[in-house]
Amino acid sequence: MTKIDKSLLTDNFRKHNSRNPLQKYLLGKFFEKFIDTVRFSNINTVLDVGCGEGFIMKRLKKAKIGVSWEGIEYSDNVIEIGKKIHPDLKITKGDIYKLPYRANSFDLVVCTEVLEYLENPRKALRELVRVSKKYVLLSAPNEPFFKLVNLLRGKNLSRRGGEIDQLQNWSAGAFAKFVNIKGVKVIDKKHPFPWTIVLLKKVK
């Protein structure tokens, strides 16, 4: 792997490269469900919003979900790291509240573990739906189970497992209710512990 200044590494990078057996097991189960959710679909173009260093896109590409993959990320530091470790992926800077694309631009729009950090997640969700042509694939921590897993890993002990900048705390049922907005319908839900995955289909 390309050498990277360890002081610049994010929690997301550490999560995807963790050697913790529990972390690796849970993440592996998550990706099994995540990929299976869209494996049936006829998808060519994929946009990952809040793509981080590109780990989700890399999984989708490896699974042959899509023909082209593009990621939007807000942090310059994360974009720099992503381009170093995934030079085959297109990662550009952008704002989830105002994506630089026309309506119906991508067959699949992906957004994983992003919405819970936003002050206005519904506004962001509407923007994800706007640029999607067919599907929107979302995931979020299933609370309070996600906090429990953090505690089991010895993470965020002083905050009882809670993430310091997480603004929304959805249970599986609350997240499914949140994503039920005009213009889409929920066609699949999966619950790989401790996450919730929801697939939305664009409707007229």
Each residue's pLDDT tens digit, 34-86: 999 999 878 999 999 999 999 999 999 999 999 999 999 999 999 999 999 99
Each residue's pLDDT tens digit, 82-121: 999 999 999 999 999 999 999 999 999 999 999 999 999 9
Share of the chain above pLDDT 90, in %: 72
User: What DSSP designation does 164 have?
Assistant: T
Q: Which pLDDT belongs to residue 153?
A: 55
**Dihedral, CA atoms, 144, 28, 25, 137, nearest 10 degrees?**
0
pLDDT above 50 (res 161): no
Closest CA to 139 of 163, 167, 103, 175: 175
Strands across the sheet containing 68-73? 90-93, 68-73, 45-49, 106-112, 132-141, 195-202, 184-190
Between CA 135 and CA 85 the distance in angstroms is 28
Domains for the chain: give ranges and CATH numbers: 6-202 (3.40.50.150)
Between CA 27 and CA 16 the distance in angstroms is 8
User: What DSSP designation does 172 have?
Assistant: H
